[in-house]
Amino acid sequence: MHEMSLAESVVEILQEEARRQAFARVRTVWLEVGALSHCDPEALAFCFDVVTRGSLAEGARLEILRTPGQGWCLACSRPVVVARRGDPCDSCGSYQIQVTGGDAMRIQELEVD
């Protein structure tokens, strides 16, 4: 389950930002998770609760913002929504799709004290 290491990385980023920006507690984390990021949001939420125990983010609310996968069809030169890697273009049926978005995970916003 790589969601545990992802959650640990989020906490490391929070600790680094707390040192840099001088805050003591994290109340809410808005985390953008792309549909093509290979991350299970429910597993990530569970892991986040586990890894934040005893940290500045203990008890923090995790708000997961899901973003759709986006791509560019090389065959028909159109932007397409991509539900899963390997799916065909919904316009022409081609599998020649270059992913252009929705494959990342990033902290979008924090509420801190």
pLDDT in tens, 42-99: 999 999 999 999 999 999 999 999 999 999 999 999 999 999 999 999 999 999 999 9
7 with 44: CB under 8 angstroms?
yes
pLDDT band at residue 18 using 50, 70 and 90 as cut-offs = very high
Give burial (CB, 10 Å; 0-12/13-18/19+) of 8: middle
What is the value of pTM for the model shown?
0.88
Q: Residue 1: its pLDDT value, please?
A: 60
CATH architecture of structural domain 3-112: 2-Layer Sandwich (3.30)
